[in-house]
Structure 1
Amino acid sequence: MSITQQYLLDIYRAQRLGEPAPPAPGAHDWQVVREWGDHRQFRAVIAGRPAHGRIRRTLGRWLHLRPRSTC
C-alpha cells in the first residue's frame, strides 16, 4: 500500500468516526529536520563539544595548516 492510499484510508476512517482528518504526508518534514538539528546541538553540548560552527572551524584549521605558496 502506498503512502497516498494509506492517507486516503485514514481520511475515510476519520470521517466515518467523526474525528479530525490526519495531516497530509510530508506536512511536518521541516519540523522534524529542525528538531533533529536541535537534538544534535543538545548532544554536542552534553558531550562538551561546541554546538555551533564545528564544520566551519574544522575547515578553517585545515586551510591554515596547509603551506602557502610564495608565487
Structure 2
Amino acid sequence: MDAIQQHMIDSHRAAQHGELPPPLPGRHDWSVLRAIRDRYRRKWSARPGNSSPPVG
C-alpha cells in the first residue's frame, strides 16, 4: 500500500468518525527538513571552537 492509498483510508475513517482528514502525504516535508537543518546548525554553533558547520 502506498502513501496515497493509506491517506484515502485514513480520510474515509476520519469522515466516518466526524473528524478532520489528515494532511496530504508530503505536505510537511520541507518544514521537517528545515527544522532538522536548524537544529543541526544550533548544535554545531554551540560547540566550542566551531564558528560554522562544515561545507560539503
Unaligned runs of 5+ in 1: 56-71
Unaligned runs of 5+ in 2: none
Q: CA deviation at 1:50?
A: 1.9
Q: CA deviation at 1:51?
A: 3.7
Counterparts of 1:16-27 in structure 2, within 5 Å, are 16-27=16-27
Give the letter for the 1:38 counterpart: D
State the SS of the aligned residue for 2:26: coil
The 2-side partners of 1:51 and 1:15 are apart by 48
Q: How many correspondences in the alignment?
A: 55
Give the letter for the 1:34 counterpart: R
Report the TM-score, using the length of structure 2 for normalisation: 0.82
Q: CA deviation at 1:45?
A: 2.0
RMSD over aligned Cα, in angstroms? 1.8
Counterparts of 1:49-60 in structure 2, within 5 Å, are 49-51=50-52, 54-55=54-55
Higher Cα radius of gyration: 1
Percent identical residues: 33
Query: By percentage of residues, which structure has more helix?
Result: 1
